[in-house]
Structure 1
Amino acid sequence: MTTSPEQGFRRSRGLDVLALACLVLIGASLRPAASSLGPVLSEVKDGFSLAEWQTGLLTALPGLVFAICGIIAVPVLKRLGLFAALAMSAAFIVAGVGLRAVVTEWVAFALLTVLALAGMSIGNVILPVYVKSRFPHRPTLGATTFTVSLGLGSMLPSLFTAPLAEQFGGWRVGLGFWVVLPFSALITWSVLRSLKSVPVLSGQAAEPGGERVEAPTRRAVFTSPKARYMAIFFGLQSANAYVQFGWLPQIYRDAGLDPFLAGIMLTIVTFGGLPGGFLAPQIIVRNIAPRAFLVSFGVSAVIGYTGLLLSPATVPWLWAVLLGYGGFAFPAALALITSRTREVSVTASTSAFVQSTGYVLAALCPLAVGGLLGLSGGWQVPLWFMVIISALMAITGWLSAGPGNVDDELAPTSGHGGTGEAK
């Protein structure tokens, strides 16, 4: 891939709008297969007569699949190219989301969920490459559109899947409805390609942990301290999100809130993804005191968990708001990938390394919380554990957002870290 990605595709105002529409639709497609399941999980469990371990496996699949399939995304990009790789991602999501809504066997449902999650995982890694290559002169616009679209893809299914299921005859309709997003994305993406407005990346991307084909002297991405800090930061913020999605309502219910109010608290937390999607990329890309802001996300989460420890039912909305602000770390972590890399190939390899490594932490942390809850018999120990996780998130956020970029740290002459300013 070339460092001049603006070459090789047609541009005009209309084509740029269509390219943004593609970004919105593909980005919004990368979450519903996971976020639509929770609201109707009880109905799915009853529909397939699932045991507890089967239900638990379904809830654990996103983190596991994201961790595994993120590794193959860059080799897929290298072999197929940008258009075909993202088209395959959307097609996997269409097939997985659409077909799992009609199958009658649990194994088929689980396998189709894995297929959809695999498509989402590949898209997670490759879409920042599209942002970097298609909007090289509008990085803030591209990063903001990307993160807001992800937020919408998480929030809308969590809000509307259950009402759709209730209104139109069951959980199958509620889950199957969301095939409209990846299907629309696939059509729009194909139209953009027919108009010759999809970047054609020359050369080959670097594999995660490997070396670039066109620059064999470039060091492996995991040797970059900044890339490692970004991976840990991404994993810790994802761990926060997974714990909140899985356990926060139960924490509030055990503190005395009724189920409805406990659900409202989680809604407050997840709603933070929208303003976070707008603001965090602006902070990172425009370099507006990024270290201070990333630290503030971790500090806010520390205070939120401490509030849940000391007085969860007194001002429950305050702790939810603080945790929601801490969730701004997710769009910030994604914006770091594009703003702390220069070449498109380095963006690709860094995206794969950061996300695949980070999701391993994200998958393990909710399991650790469940284990600590079982061993201790209460929420004190698990919540102290999350306080520590959030404090580490603040520290790695400070390290990740410092000056310099991954490209310089991978160059043979910059073995002790880059000296260039981040862009």
Structure 2
Amino acid sequence: MEPEAATGRAANTGPEPATETGPEPAAQAARHEASPASSRLGAVLAVLSIVLMAACLRPAATSLGPVLAEVEAAFGLQGWQAGLLTALPGAAYVVFGAVAFLVLRRLGMFRALLLCVVAIAVGLLVRVLGDSWAAFAGFTTLALAGMAMGNVVLPVYVKARFPTAQTRAVTVFMMALGLGAALPTLLTAPAADVLGGWRPGLGLWAALPVLALVVWLALRGLGPTPDLGARTPASSGARPRPITASRGVWALTLYFGLQSLHAYVQFGWAAQIYRDAGLDPVTAGLMVTIIVAGGIPGGFIAPQIVARGRHVRPVLVGYAIAAMGGYAGLLLAPTTLPWLWAVGLAVGGFSFPSALALITVRTRRPEVTARTSGFVQPVGYLLAAVGPLLLGVVLEATGSWEVPLVALLVLAGLMGLAAWIAGAPGSVDAELEPVRDADAADGVDAAAEDADVGGR
């Protein structure tokens, strides 16, 4: 696998990626060529590390809901305390996702991901051992911090480690992410019944980051970890443009934020919408499971469509149309074919793996991938966090689901428009070409635009 990686780096128009032991990719590739068995083992461990670490990035958020009532009873929580626990994931995405790029630049790829995995493991395990609600919330926050930073850093590792196998690597990452979200939702409550309580039911998910840590350390023992590309040399007189100078980044941010808004609304309110329409709690919960489980096939299908670059924009808009169909069904006939509306929302949820895949595909160099991901995700999640709150306000003001569902229909249409813009050909790298001084900025912009149009 490493010889391929070396070839991919040589073909890259950007600077050579450095490892944490020094920028010597040619020597590194030669060492791996001399040991084919070590190279094959390294490739297997690299894929396994992606699977395990991606699966770690959701249980801290999705495992709590099925046993939230038991946690409330155990700690005697008031309503605001339970509400705070459910709001922590969104806050963690915004706060810790925003500093993930700085952590990556300071610690390097290996230590940054090591920090993420350790934080998740310690947080998931220790939070179930104490008798204090403050300790439970604190260690949940620690796990969510590792999860939020891993959201930003892990796609960069995928980009750097498999430069010539992007489609397969991103597909593996997204499928593992979907499983890591769906399985805790489905299995935490049954596991709590079998194991004797909510504490072991929640604590068992700490096994995932522990396994990921073992594999990550074993992979490190075989050689250095690919890292970010070097910065533009200061001697050239050039300076990098800010990430906000890219129109593509703003389009990706809007698309990511809107699809996250829909996901948060569905996870938080879909069951209540079904129950208010007349479904029993079990059936309503099953509908939500259908919506969440859509992340598994979506994690397989969506990244491949984005990475192959064929009919990307119409497909992305199609996901938004499916979501609009789901909301329209909930508005007009929620109990007639409830599973069909859930399937529509699940297909609309394919927008999440598509948005993450676009971050990887629309960037060439790992450092640009990191900067883009470090901006798009926190800002997008900040937009998403407002959605459920405003929906609750509108619901209380109107007393019915009619106005909120119409609003969600409109927002799904806006998501389709954002998807069309974000799915346009071109790369963020071209928009961020360094400039020598402020007076030259307009000329560089024009050149980047010309290159982009030519590439289309």
TM-score (norm 2): 0.88
Secondary structure of 1:415's aligned partner: helix
Which of residues 410, 421, 425 is equivalent to 1:399? Answer: 421
Matches within 5 A, 1:131-142: 131-142=158-169
AA of the residue aligned to 1:26:
M
After superposition, give the CA deviation of every residue in 1:142-176 in whole Å (9 maximum; x if it has no partner): 11011111101001100100001011111111110
Paired position in structure 2 for 1:208:
none
Q: Does 2:268 align with 1:254?
A: no
**Structure 1 stretches lacking a partner, 5+ long:** 206-210
2:198 corresponds to which residue?
171
**Aligned counterpart, 1:129:** 156
Q: Distance in 1 between matches of 2:341 and 2:381?
A: 25
1:310 aligned onto 2:310 = no
Greater Cα shift, 216-225 or 41-50: 216-225
Give CA deviations for 1:167-220 in whole Å, capped at 9, x if unaligned: 111111111000000111111001100111521445359xxxxx9999852211
Question: Does the 8 Å CA contact 2:229/2:365 hold for their aligned counterparts?
Answer: no
Report the equivalent of 1:352. Answer: 374
Residues in 1 aligned to 2:293 and 2:323: alpha-carbon distance in whole angstroms = 15
Match of 2:445 among 390, 412, 415: 415
> Does the alignment pair 1:194 with 2:194?
no
Question: How many Å apart are 1:388 and its aligned residue?
Answer: 1.6
Cα pair distance change 1:201/1:406, threshold 3 Å: closer
The SS at the match of 2:278 is coil
What is the distance in 2 between the residues matched to 1:212 and 1:186? 37
Alignment-derived partner of residue 283 in structure 1: 305
Inter-partner Cα distance in structure 2 for 1:116 and 1:374 = 33
CA contact (8 A) 2:15 2:230 kept: no
* Higher relative helix content: 2
How far apart in 1 are the matches of 2:156 and 2:182?
A: 24
Please list, as runs of the form range in 1=range in 2, the aligned pairs for 1:65-104 lying within 5 A after superposition: 65-104=92-131
Q: Sort the Cα spacing of 1:168 and 1:204 in 2 relative to 1 into closer, same or farther, 3 A.
A: farther
Alignment partner of 1:336 is 2:358: yes
Q: Residue 17 of structure 2 contacts residue 230 of structure 2 at CA under 8 Å; is this kept in 1? A: no
In 1, distance between residues paired with 2:354 and 2:379?
A: 17
Q: What's the CA shift for 1:336?
A: 0.4
Q: Which residue of 2 aligns with 1:45?
A: 72
Which range moved further: 404-413 or 276-285?
A: 404-413
Once the two structures are TM-superposed, the CA of residue 422 in structure 1 deviates from its matched residue by 7.7
Displacement of 1:138 after TM fit? 0.1
Closer/same/farther in 2, CA of residues 322 and 212 from structure 1, 3 Å limit:
farther
User: Cα distance, 1:415 vs. partner?
Assistant: 2.7
Q: Whole-Å Cα distance in 1 between the matches of residues 175 and 142 of structure 2?
A: 24
Q: Which one of the candidate residues 305, 312, 316 is aligned to 1:294?
A: 316
CA contact (8 A) 2:16 2:230 kept: no
Taking only the aligned residue pairs, the percentage that are identical comes to 49
What is the CA-CA distance between 1:242 and the residue it aligns to?
0.8
Partner of residue 272 from structure 1, selected from 294, 305, 311: 294
TM-score w.r.t. structure 1 length? 0.95
Counterpart in the other structure of 1:156: 183
Contact 2:157 2:227 in 1 (8 A): no
Q: Is the 8 A contact 2:287 2:338 kept in 1?
A: yes
2:141 equivalent to 1:114: yes
Instruction: Give, in angstroms, the shift of residue 382 of structure 1.
Output: 1.1
Mapped to 1, the partners of 2:393 and 2:339 lie a distance apart of 27
C-alpha distance in 2, partners of 1:86/1:169?
A: 33
Q: Distance in 1 between matches of 2:234 and 2:102?
A: 11
Contact 1:94/1:179 (<8 A) preserved: yes
Amino acid at match of 1:21: L
Runs (4 or more) in structure 1 with deviation over 6 Å come to: 211-215
Q: How many residues align?
A: 418
**Which structure has the larger Rg over C-alpha atoms?**
2
Q: Indicate the SS of the match to 1:12.
A: helix
Structure 2 unaligned segments of length 5 or more: list them. 1-8, 19-24, 33-37, 436-442
> Distance between the aligned counterparts of 2:455 and 2:366, measured in 1?
15
Amino acid at match of 1:174: G
Shift in CA distance, 258/222, structure 1 to aligned 2, threshold 3 Å? same
Tell me the CA shift for residue 4 of structure 1.
Answer: 3.7
Cα distance in 2 between the residues matched to 1:403 and 1:319: 32
Are residues 213 and 278 of structure 1, via their aligned partners in 2, closer, same or farther at CA, if it must alter by over 3 Å?
Answer: farther
Could you report, residue by residue, the CA deviation over 1:32-68 in whole angstroms, capped at 9, with x for unpaired residues? 0001000001111111111111111111111111011
Matched, 1:364 2:389: no
Instruction: Say which SS state the counterpart of residue 285 (structure 2) adopts.
Output: helix
Letter in 1 for 2:326: G
| SS class of match (2:424) | coil
**In 1, Cα distance between equivalents of 2:293 and 2:261:** 18
Deviation at 1:302, TM superposition (A): 1.0
In the aligned structure 1, how far is the partner of 2:235 from the partner of 2:346? 42
Mapped contact 2:303–2:357 kept (Cα < 8 A):
yes
User: Matched residue of 1:342: which SS?
Assistant: coil
SS at match of 2:445: coil
Q: Give secondary structure in 2 for the equivalent of 1:81.
A: helix
Using a 3 Å threshold, how does the CA distance of structure 1 residues 414 and 314 change in structure 2: closer, same or farther? farther
Give the partner amino acid of 1:398.
W
